[in-house]
Structure 1
Amino acid sequence: MSAVANIQPSIVKRNALCFMLLAVNIIGFIYQSYYIQNIGGDWLLPTDTDSYVFIILGANEANLTLTGEPWRLVSNIFLHADIAHLLFNMVALLAIGPYTEEHFGKLKMLAIYLVSGISASLVSALWYSSAGSQGNELYDSIAYSVFQTQILRINISVGASGAIMGLAGANLASMLAKMAATHQAEPQQKKHLNYTLIMVGLTLAYGLQKGVDSSAHIGGLISGTLFAGILLCCHAIKSKLIRSTLSLISIVAVAGLLLGAIQASQQPDSESMQDARETIMAKMAEYQQARALELQRSLAQQQIALDKKNRPDPVSAEVAAGIEIPIGGFADDVYQTADGRWLYASIGKSNQLIQIDLQKNNHLRTYSAPPLPKTNDGCPHNMCRGMGVSGIATSPDGKLIYVTSMQPDALSVLDTERGKIVKTLPLGQFPRAMLLTNDGKRAYVINSVDNTLSVINLQDYSIERVIAFAGGNAEHYGFGRQLAMALSPDEKWLAFANTIGSTVELINTETLEPLPIRENEAEILNVQSLRFLADNKQLRIVTDNTLLDISVPDRAITQQVLSCEGKELQNAVLNSDGTLIAVQTPSADHWLLVKISTRSVIGYYPLTTIGYGMKFSNNDGLLFDKGLNDIRVLDRDRSLDPQDTEITPLCFEDPNNQDDIGW
């Protein structure tokens, strides 16, 4: 027992570099396996996952390596096709490496390993670049065909076998040099020679079959033999200082020559290789997009199963329909106070503000304003005259209510205790949508006819700035058009759907400068809802058939989700953090609550009357359905069984691909 214990440390110490190279290759395979597993592949048989993954990880591919990516000459050495390929190479390393380390030393062995591996990769790249479309279909150095067209075949190569063949070549050079010097061979030396020759012979024979990168094996063997010959010549010098100096100079010189060869091998002006490179990069982009989609699908399926497990039991249609609260007209807007107790609804037709007690679910109070001016212009209601209460907000303490257009072209401030207007602030023509900062010190109001934004200081009721949007005046557009607006959680950004300019305006709340957002420089039309995500770095936009995620502030599209079968997303509205979307069914007889990350329906609620819009409560636990003369308060957890509907509004893939609709 003690003898074994004494031997083990000496073996590890004597062959430390071999074990280090073994560990590096195993770590490389673990990282490779982790990456492949994360994209939904099989880490045991990664080549069954897809060949493109190896190009992403750093495989040697001539059209890439020789057109600006020479780093692949190194990275591919530490990748392996599968666990069998790794085991075969590591067994060969442990069989060959100890002799190399013992007779050349650690530094020289490492130099031989790297020079041979890189040289093998370079020979392979040059070989397949010259072979072109006539190249062999490969699988092992490992090397194999990724895809093939009529004019192009792409081959990739991975594995440490070229470097290990270099060690074998070095061992052969060392053994033969000793035998030539002594004119005899010791039994142990013959044994090592026979093992090495057998290993080299088997490797070269293995290379005769389809899918093996023989060029890398041969390149590694030759380069390792030649490099070892140079080092052995230095080793023959008796002076230790001169011997070490010349060995170091030789290593540096060989490394320099190899770098020069790599530089000389680059073919940036090769039209055929550049065409092949562009093809590969395009295929890689498609592959990564497809894999990302597959991973997203897989994660979504797991989350759907978890959501289903944790979902409350379904309820009857009567319960799911919620509580109906009559308000005597259509609510242009609804607003829940910060404490969640009160709900205010604006009725533009009668120019009234309704207060609802959400604890008792009843109509508590009506705020009325002085009569609006009457005109003989033929308009049947206030909306087409550009007046009537619209947007609502309250002060943080709930003592003041801010409403737009209760008085013509103005912001009205109501005192909740006195029940009357205490302040009137003139604004632009027909102000409607409004947002307040959390501290209640600033308000943002959209003047819908002027197509401007009024920034208001609520501490002294002064106008900080009026921002004009692209597209100009909206007097010839419908006064009741959708005015989607959102403030980021950190309140540094404001977004507004500018229907007139066919853009979404992104506004820095410090500089108050608008930045128009367009979809690939095209117009963004029919925006129904928008919200900033919780990280403040993404703006989510819902149009009539698309959901877009836009990065903030650079305004690049990061995600595009299409409606299934190109169907319209009817009356779509996002919740406060943009993770949920409420959509009416095409037949307008139900509301669907959809979890955007999984594209799955998690809530299903019947419509007892025509629903004109939906709004989420502050904590997303309630949904307020705006009917013709009432508001229905829906409890998110009291839903019909979502599995009762076959409709899935959002898709992961091409909306015309039926396989991608629903789960």
Structure 2
Amino acid sequence: MTEAALDPSQSRYGGISSILRQHWATIGLVLANLIVYVWMGASGVSWTEPDPEQLVEWGANLAPFTLSGDSWRLFSSMFVHGGAVHLLLNMYMLLLIGPLAQKRFGGIGFLAIYLATGLAAGLTSAWWHGTHPVTNLLMQSSIRLVASVGASGALMGLAGALCVAGLSDADMGGSRGKALAQVVLLNLGMGFMVSGVDQACHIGGLLTGLPLGTLGWLNLRPLRRHVMFAALAGAAVAGAQPASRALGSDELSEMAVKIRQQRQEELEQARLEAEKAQRVELARSERAARPKPVSKEQAAGVEIPLSLSGVYGSAVLSADGARLYLADTEQNSLEVVDLRQQRLERSIAGPKLPVPKNAICGQNLCRGIGAWSVALSPDERWALVPGMANDAVALVDLRTGGIVHRFATGRLPSQALFSRDGQRAYVINAGDNTLSTLDLAQRRVIGQPVRLGEPSQEVGARFNRPLLRLNAAGDKLLLSDARLDTLQLLDLRSMQPSGKPLTLPSDALDDWAADPAGNLWWPTRGNVMWQYQGEPLAARQAWLHCEAEGWQKLAASADGAWLASYKDSGGVIRLLSRRSLSTVGVFPVDSIPRRLLFSRDGKTLLSVHEHGVTLFALDKSMDAAAYVAENEEAYCNVRTPQQMAAAKERLRQSGWPMLP
């Protein structure tokens, strides 16, 4: 006897090696089933009683799916189990007959018969449940949806094959026969006595295994035996798909479509409910982090009264936030408000304008004349005021307060924007629906205007406030056309579109909001507000208003933390968190805001209205939680799949990309 033979560790390792070599197929199948079970549990599936929907997602054999194209479920369902007890019972039976099968048929033969009978068992189950409707108490027939899972069909097939293969064996009445009897009787008995057991699967596996057992009678050389069983496995796999297709029907295909749609709606509803819970919790924490609420009087802010017309085209803050520039349309003037001294600092008057022959009312607003907007140069030396001269843009020297030049850009200029270096400027002409480029050093219009869309013959074309902004790099314009039909990126070097333009919803309002990072919010007259990114140009989200009429005045803070929102006749301005889009602040208003702006430091909100300007300190808000409890959120937390489907359909019709 050698020394190695006396080493207990080597003997132990040798025993383990022998077991692995003799029973590798059984051990491999057990491990595969255990891995799938642990993977499912780690992914959130119940360890003891998984839902049928979860089982189907992991590959359960569901007749409408399996017989309508998902033939792979015949294989996957063999490794999915309905909880710990189901798994342990099947693994117990596999450990009972697996070694017997590997000894009788060899490892490859064992796996081939296991695979073939498992696929046949699954196919029998799908055929039976998919073609044999059940009748209820009202005598109504319908297909019973059964999510079949587990290895028992393959185990029954192995047991049947072993029974036939071992008919001539001397020990069929001994331990081998007892093991086979346990497997067969346990499975068939449970099928008749316990509800929820797929008896069709068991019988299908058993009947398939019986004729395959005759292969054990063949006395073949190992290589030929391996080739034979490999061919059996290949034939089983190759035949699974055409066989499942042949057993299918139009009724099952339609049922599969309906089940998938219903499941998709359920998943979407679950996602929305989870999002709702997250937003509610986030809003609660955000409100808790805000300063303590104050009274309505304390939250009302400080008003700077102005003796102006109250008809303002746009308002712009200086870089230091000390001044507010207002385009007074009715007076055709540029008003400069000193916010620190809280007074009107200066009024820069434009020329007296002739009244158009096609004027539709007695005010400049609907005549299509008068200062409509204002743009400041980077050094704040100059201001461009579209409409201060008829069909022209006035260049104003802010030091002297005089108009130094008039650019004849096109009909009804409405928006202007300086380049980053202040050498050029860009103007949207509302009547022509074009974009003009200005050379400020040479005081001229460069070339021909760029056509943005169809022109408008209406005097009220200038009522819209088209989007006109630079991207972060300053080499592209993010702009809409004057009619608010499209949105596009324009390359400033070539003056050609960069990427595909997007079509805006037909009921888009002109009270959009944007932040320096390129995030945009665009409300509509309906109950949806679209959110999208500027570069690359793409839709990001759709938010539903809690009431039919949306919140129509919007502003975004420079730091991207806040949105301000006002609804006509709402009586308050809401401060919304960008993260949760929930109300975290409430400020009372007596006058309807024409424009909302945030100060540069993000500490103050400005409301421009017909009586002047009101400054709201963001840290002095009414009780937002109490207000929301009484009046709901501005944007609803609950969004049903049907509502979101309708919103997405509107996007599809307008050519927008699908929402996330």
Q: What TM bracket, shorter-length normalisation?
A: 0.7 to 0.9
The offset of 1:313, in angstroms, is 2.0
Cα deviations by residue, 1:5-28 (Å, 9 ceiling, x for unpaired): 856677667655555544544444
Following superposition of structure 1 onto structure 2, how do residues 359-398 of structure 1 map, counting pairs within 5 Å?
A: 360=340, 362-363=342-343, 365-366=345-346, 368-375=348-355, 379-398=361-380
Q: Give the letter for the 1:277 counterpart.
A: A
The offset of 1:654, in angstroms, is 5.9
Preserved CA contact (<8 Å) 2:477 2:489: yes
Contiguous gaps of at least 5 residues in structure 2: 1-7, 644-660
Q: Give the letter for the 2:60 counterpart.
A: A
Q: Give the letter for the 1:409 counterpart.
A: D
1: CA distance, partners of 2:248 / 2:459: 57
> Does residue 294 of structure 2 align to residue 325 of structure 1?
no
> Does residue 449 of structure 2 align to residue 466 of structure 1?
yes
Q: Give the letter for the 1:115 counterpart.
A: A
Aligned to 2:657: none
2: CA distance, partners of 1:498 / 1:247: 76
Q: Give the letter for the 1:639 counterpart.
A: S
Number of equivalences: 620
Aligned to 2:635: 650
| Pair 9,424 (structure 1): closer, same or farther in 2 beyond 3 Å | farther
Aligned to 1:217: 202
| Pair 23,394 (structure 1): closer, same or farther in 2 beyond 3 Å | farther
Preserved CA contact (<8 Å) 1:487 1:532: no
> Does residue 60 of structure 2 align to residue 70 of structure 1?
no
2: CA distance, partners of 1:474 / 1:604: 41
| Pair 28,535 (structure 1): closer, same or farther in 2 beyond 3 Å | farther
| Pair 580,543 (structure 1): closer, same or farther in 2 beyond 3 Å | farther
Aligned to 1:120: 121
2: CA distance, partners of 1:90 / 1:440: 77
Aligned to 1:561: 543
Report the 3-state secondary structure (helix = DSSP H, G, I; strand = E; otherwise coil) of the residue aligned with 1:466.
Answer: strand
Aligned to 2:525: 544
Aligned to 1:194: 178
| Pair 615,97 (structure 1): closer, same or farther in 2 beyond 3 Å | farther
2: CA distance, partners of 1:12 / 1:603: 68
| Pair 593,575 (structure 1): closer, same or farther in 2 beyond 3 Å | same
2: CA distance, partners of 1:655 / 1:195: 53
Cα deviations by residue, 1:451-485 (Å, 9 ceiling, x for unpaired): 43445576876446634455531425364345456
Aligned to 1:134: 134
> Does residue 324 of structure 2 align to residue 353 of structure 1?
no
1: CA distance, partners of 2:517 / 2:207: 56
> Does residue 608 of structure 2 align to residue 626 of structure 1?
yes
> Does residue 458 of structure 2 align to residue 475 of structure 1?
yes
Preserved CA contact (<8 Å) 1:323 1:633: yes
Identity of aligned residues (%): 26
Aligned to 1:660: none
2: CA distance, partners of 1:21 / 1:493: 62
Preserved CA contact (<8 Å) 1:346 1:391: yes
The offset of 1:261, in angstroms, is 4.5
Report the 3-state secondary structure (helix = DSSP H, G, I; strand = E; otherwise coil) of the residue aligned with 2:195.
Answer: coil
2: CA distance, partners of 1:122 / 1:649: 53
1: CA distance, partners of 2:178 / 2:285: 60
With 244-253 and 602-611 compared, the bigger mean Cα shift is at 244-253
Preserved CA contact (<8 Å) 2:378 2:420: yes
Preserved CA contact (<8 Å) 1:504 1:516: yes
The offset of 1:566, in angstroms, is 1.9
| Pair 601,558 (structure 1): closer, same or farther in 2 beyond 3 Å | same
Preserved CA contact (<8 Å) 2:585 2:621: yes
Following superposition of structure 1 onto structure 2, how do residues 230-629 of structure 1 map, counting pairs within 5 Å?
A: 230=215, 232-233=216-217, 236-237=219-220, 239=221, 243-267=222-246, 270-329=249-308, 330=310, 331-337=312-318, 342-356=323-337, 360=340, 362-363=342-343, 365-366=345-346, 368-375=348-355, 379-435=361-417, 443-454=425-436, 462-463=445-446, 466-468=449-451, 472-477=455-460, 479-483=462-466, 494-496=478-480, 499=483, 503-509=485-491, 511-512=496-497, 524-530=506-512, 540-549=521-530, 560-572=542-554, 581-585=563-567, 587-595=569-577, 598=580, 600-617=582-599, 621-629=603-611
The offset of 1:114, in angstroms, is 3.4
With 611-620 and 628-637 compared, the bigger mean Cα shift is at 611-620
The offset of 1:605, in angstroms, is 0.8
2: CA distance, partners of 1:577 / 1:504: 27
2: CA distance, partners of 1:594 / 1:485: 24
2: CA distance, partners of 1:489 / 1:27: 49
Preserved CA contact (<8 Å) 1:166 1:225: no
Preserved CA contact (<8 Å) 2:156 2:206: yes
1: CA distance, partners of 2:161 / 2:365: 94
Preserved CA contact (<8 Å) 1:563 1:655: no
| Pair 632,10 (structure 1): closer, same or farther in 2 beyond 3 Å | farther
1: CA distance, partners of 2:34 / 2:471: 46
| Pair 559,111 (structure 1): closer, same or farther in 2 beyond 3 Å | farther
Preserved CA contact (<8 Å) 1:545 1:566: yes
* TM score, norm. by length of structure 2: 0.78
* TM score, norm. by length of structure 1: 0.78
Contiguous gaps of at least 5 residues in structure 1: 138-147, 658-663
2: CA distance, partners of 1:533 / 1:154: 55
Cα deviations by residue, 1:420-473 (Å, 9 ceiling, x for unpaired): 445532222222234556666765533223343445576876446634455531
Preserved CA contact (<8 Å) 1:588 1:611: no
2: CA distance, partners of 1:83 / 1:441: 74
Preserved CA contact (<8 Å) 1:323 1:361: no
Preserved CA contact (<8 Å) 1:486 1:531: no
| Pair 53,173 (structure 1): closer, same or farther in 2 beyond 3 Å | closer
2: CA distance, partners of 1:550 / 1:150: 49
> Does residue 621 of structure 2 align to residue 639 of structure 1?
yes
| Pair 130,309 (structure 1): closer, same or farther in 2 beyond 3 Å | same
Preserved CA contact (<8 Å) 1:61 1:154: no
Preserved CA contact (<8 Å) 1:403 1:411: yes
Cα deviations by residue, 1:160-190 (Å, 9 ceiling, x for unpaired): 22xx442454356447645724x2359xxx3
Preserved CA contact (<8 Å) 2:415 2:466: yes
2: CA distance, partners of 1:464 / 1:448: 18
> Does residue 80 of structure 2 align to residue 79 of structure 1?
yes
Report the 3-state secondary structure (helix = DSSP H, G, I; strand = E; otherwise coil) of the residue aligned with 2:315.
Answer: strand
Q: Give the letter for the 2:478 counterpart.
A: L
Q: Give the letter for the 1:157 counterpart.
A: A
2: CA distance, partners of 1:254 / 1:409: 82
Report the 3-state secondary structure (helix = DSSP H, G, I; strand = E; otherwise coil) of the residue aligned with 1:180.
Answer: coil
With 95-104 and 243-252 compared, the bigger mean Cα shift is at 95-104
Preserved CA contact (<8 Å) 1:372 1:408: no
2: CA distance, partners of 1:211 / 1:130: 18
1: CA distance, partners of 2:190 / 2:441: 83
Q: Give the letter for the 1:166 counterpart.
A: A
Report the 3-state secondary structure (helix = DSSP H, G, I; strand = E; otherwise coil) of the residue aligned with 1:207.
Answer: helix
| Pair 654,373 (structure 1): closer, same or farther in 2 beyond 3 Å | same
Report the 3-state secondary structure (helix = DSSP H, G, I; strand = E; otherwise coil) of the residue aligned with 2:564.
Answer: strand
Report the 3-state secondary structure (helix = DSSP H, G, I; strand = E; otherwise coil) of the residue aligned with 1:445.
Answer: strand
| Pair 486,276 (structure 1): closer, same or farther in 2 beyond 3 Å | farther
| Pair 385,123 (structure 1): closer, same or farther in 2 beyond 3 Å | same
Preserved CA contact (<8 Å) 1:594 1:602: yes
The offset of 1:515, in angstroms, is 6.5
